[in-house]
Structure formats: C-alpha cells, structure tokens
Amino acid sequence: MKPTIHYLTTAAQVADAAAHFATLPRIGIDLEFDDNRYRYGRHLALIQVFDGEAVYLIDPLPLEPEMAAGLEPLFAVLRDPAVAKVFHSCKSDILLLDELFSVTCRTIVDTSVQFTLLALEDNNISLGRLIQSELGFEVDKGEQKSNWLKRPLTEAQKEYAANDVLYLFELTDRLAVRLQEQGRAQWAAEENHALEAVRYGRGELRPHLRLAGKYRISPQELPLFRELYALRDRVARQLDRPSYMVLSNDRLAEITRQPITSHGALRNAGGLHPELKRAPYADELVALATAELAPDGPLPADQRRPQPFRRRFGGPVAARAEARETLLTTLKNHLAADYSPVLANTVLSNRLIGDVVEQGSLAALRPWQRQLLGETAGQHGLAIAELEEPLQA
C-alpha cells in the first residue's frame, strides 16, 4: 500500500507542517540535493519528512529567493532536542544544512550508526541494502542520480523520495532492540550525540590541493595547476554549471603538464567548454602557460595537516610512541578476534590509533570505546592505564 504523500510548495504549508512535527516525539528525515552534478555548487532540492503515518515532500525551490525564511519553521524543529530526527547516513545531509543555512540538528538517530555498532558490516551500507537486509524486500533506487533540481518532479522521483523516509522508524526500532540485547544501546547514544557537533569546514584556502594529490601534480607544476583550477571555478560559477562541464579533472591535469601556449592551439584543443575559448578567459588561459607564478606560501597553522608522529618525534619520545602504537595494534587485533574486524576498526581505526598515541584515550575516544578497550585489555592481561594521558615529550 502506497503512503499518503503531501507535496508542500509554500511557506504557509511548511509552517503548518512544522507546527505538526513539533508536537511529535520523532520524525524521519532525508534530503535530496545537487552536489555539482547539474549546477555549480551545492543546492538543496527536496526535504522528505515522515511523521509515522504520512510522508511530506517539502519543495524548497518555489520558496526562492526567500528559501531560508520559508524553511525556518522546519529548521526550528531540527534544532529542537525534544524531537528526535531519524536519518540514514546523515553526515552529508547535516553538512549541507550547516553549509547553506547554518542549521544544526539536535537529537539525531542514524540507522547507519546503529547498524555499524552491531558489527555486521561497515558503515557504508546503503538504505536500500539495509531495507532488504532488515525488512526483506527491495525498494526502487533508480532515481538516485536523477536531476532533483528539475521541475516538475516525476511520480517516480516522488515515490523514490518517499521511500527514503518511509521505513526509517521500523528500521531504527528493530536495530535499537538488537543493540539493547547486546548491551550496546549506550554506544549508539554516544555516537549519535557526537553527530550534533559535525560542521561544514568553511574557508578552505587551497581546495586545489585535494585534487593535486590525486593526480600527483609535482611541486613545480602546482602553481599552474592552482591557477587553472581557479580559472575553471570562475567560469563554472559564471555559467552556473558544474566545474567538470567546463574542464574535466583529467583535462585539467593534462593542460597543467602540457600548457596551451597559443590561441591557435586553444581553438583546436578538445575537452574545453566554449567559454574558455572566448575573451577574456582565452587570453588568461594562454597567458598562464608562460607566466611567472609564485608558489603557495605556508598554510595557516590551523589548516596544516599534522605530520604522522613517526616524522615528528625522535629518541625516547619516538620509542614511547611506538610502544603505544604496538599496544593499541595488539588491542585492535584482540577486538577483531573477540568481536569482529568491523567493530575493531570502529573502536580503533588507524586514525584513532594515531590520535590515542598522541592525545591519550581520554581525549581521543568516547566513553564506550574506552570501556570496551578496558574490558578487552583485562581479558587479555594487558595494562593500558598509561594510554589515558597524552604522550609526554
């Protein structure tokens, strides 16, 4: 039986629905958004809410140019800790809400987190697979990559969007029972609470560096790569098109290594948006081939990626750090054998091992992780009290 679907397109409808949601103990929620697939940047395209009986599809596009104001009654519910928000794999959604609207969700329940803490599989399980695993049937996911910014939405898109929230209550309730039976309900509570602190990283000074690493751009090539990246971004922003439609990442790396040195070569070059072959961008692109470009200066301290402790420590400090790492790796192996490799990696991922080595377990781990480590250490006769405090230089 298909659910009742309410399609909301006005601020008044959103306000009425939000007033209803505010009276509930929980709502199921999901977002559809475009992430540089059809337009430049990231754009909210649809909000789906389930109240336990009906699905509400909230269309934010008719609310423009006052989208934030029109959605504010709903945002108030998202901020309200009295109303639990049930998501599946919520990080991309809560990052988008913070990035575009500075909205922070409170009282999050993530079915992906719950499933991961049962230590059956990793936390990348899709909603479709989780529904199939837990509820025993398949849902159509064919619209996942459709253009959610195009209007009108098709009936297939609406049904797909509704399915993303329709089963969240049943899933979270089933998973919660199993977590309680295994004594892991508190684990989920701590992990879900930590999601409230997730924030969008603003002010990245050098976004080109992420891509440069993938394409192994050398230090000598990096200044040109940086300028070409910035040029592509300006054109994409002007055209309101994703950057890959202006110049693909592969082509960006190719032009860095084999610059276009003349307008004739530019006219014959493939893989470039026509706008790059017109003034003023064509002149800039050709000029970059022979320009004297300054290298990047040092990053601010708060944006520098810390070097692994092996590169920063020496002598007795390095020996103590290595001893800590060895102990933590031993504990991780015991966790994998006693429970599962998935749980072992959740408690002590490689990143967390590095954090505990330097910061200590009191700062780097959540209470449930520290408790499980203590129990595992006791079972295997390992002393771990020294791991609680930071590494002393």
Q: Are 294 and 226 in contact (CB under 8 A)?
A: no
Q: pLDDT confidence of 140, banded at 50, 70, 90?
A: confident
The whole-number pLDDT of residue 210 equals 86
The whole-number pLDDT of residue 141 equals 75
The whole-number pLDDT of residue 24 equals 98
Token duo for residue 256: 């860095």
> Nearest CA to 25 among 169, 170, 186?
169
The H helix count followed by the E strand count for the chain is 20, 6
Distances (CA, A) of 95 to 47, 84, 99, 351: 14, 18, 6, 21
The whole-number pLDDT of residue 203 equals 67
SS3 280: coil
- Calculate mean pLDDT across residues 231-252: 97
Q: Is 176 exposed, middle or buried (0-12, 13-18, 19+ CB in 10 A)?
A: middle
Please write the tens of the pLDDT for every residue from 42-85: 999 999 999 999 999 999 999 999 999 999 999 999 999 999 99
The pTM score is 0.91
Q: pLDDT confidence of 163, banded at 50, 70, 90?
A: very high
- Calculate mean pLDDT across residues 188-213: 88
Please write the tens of the pLDDT for every residue from 288-297: 999 999 998 8
Q: Are 110 and 192 in contact (CB under 8 A)?
A: yes
The whole-number pLDDT of residue 124 equals 76
Judged against a pLDDT cut of 90, whether residue 189 lies above it is answered with yes
The CB density around residue 374, as the number of other CB atoms within 10 Å, is 17
**Average pLDDT across the chain, whole number:** 93
The whole-number pLDDT of residue 168 equals 98
The whole-number pLDDT of residue 313 equals 72
The fraction of the chain above a pLDDT of 70, given in percent, is: 95
Q: pLDDT confidence of 94, banded at 50, 70, 90?
A: very high
CATH number 1.10.150.80 given to 208-288: yes
Q: How many CA within 13 A on the CB side of residue 154?
A: 9
Superfamily of chain region 4-197: Ribonuclease H-like superfamily/Ribonuclease H (3.30.420.10)
Q: Are strands 26-35 and 42-50 parallel, antiparallel or unpaired?
A: antiparallel
